[in-house]
Amino acid sequence: MKILVVDDHHDSVDSLSRLLEAHGHETARAYDGRQALDVFRQFEPAVVVLDIDMPVLDGYGTARAVRLTPSHRLPVLVALTGLTGHETRRLAFDAGFDAHVNKPARIEALLELMDKLLRERS
């Protein structure tokens, strides 16, 4: 699947992208919310794995903008974040995320979740 990975921590984006690619997926990378929107329009991913706590444009704003961007497919949005708690989860779902996952996440669990969400979507 095509997966866009977004986080302001470059090492996090790069390492997760390499893991996803090692599992046979195609990835694109972005290091802030505004860059993510540009990459999203060009790459048209099936899944966006997105940090919430980012400068420039946070994950909530990025998720809302992705939901408003015309696309031939509605992507699955996964919040992968260090922010925890009921309020954070509520805000994530209100912004349009399909799932909220706490960092660090096991790659196998993340892949299973993405597969499940994509199956539910189709």
Domain with 9 in it: what CATH number? 3.40.50.2300
pLDDT (0 to 100) of residue 31: 98
Whole-number percent of the chain with pLDDT over 70: 100
Q: Is the pLDDT at 89 greater than 80, yes or no? A: yes
Count of the separate structural domains present in the chain: 1
pLDDT (0 to 100) of residue 72: 73
Band (pLDDT 50/70/90 cuts) for residue 32 is: very high
State phi, psi for 69 to the nearest 5 degrees.
Answer: -80, 125
Distances 72 to 42, 50, 63, 104 between C-alpha atoms, Å: 12, 20, 17, 31
pLDDT (0 to 100) of residue 71: 76
Give the pLDDT mean for 93-122. 95
Whole-number percent of the chain with pLDDT over 90: 92
| Residue 79: domain span | 2-121
For the whole model, what pTM was predicted? 0.96
Band (pLDDT 50/70/90 cuts) for residue 51 is: very high
Q: Whose CA is closest to 35, among 24, 46, 51?
A: 51
The amino acid occupying position 72 is H
Residue 19: CB atoms within 10 Å: 16
Band (pLDDT 50/70/90 cuts) for residue 122 is: confident
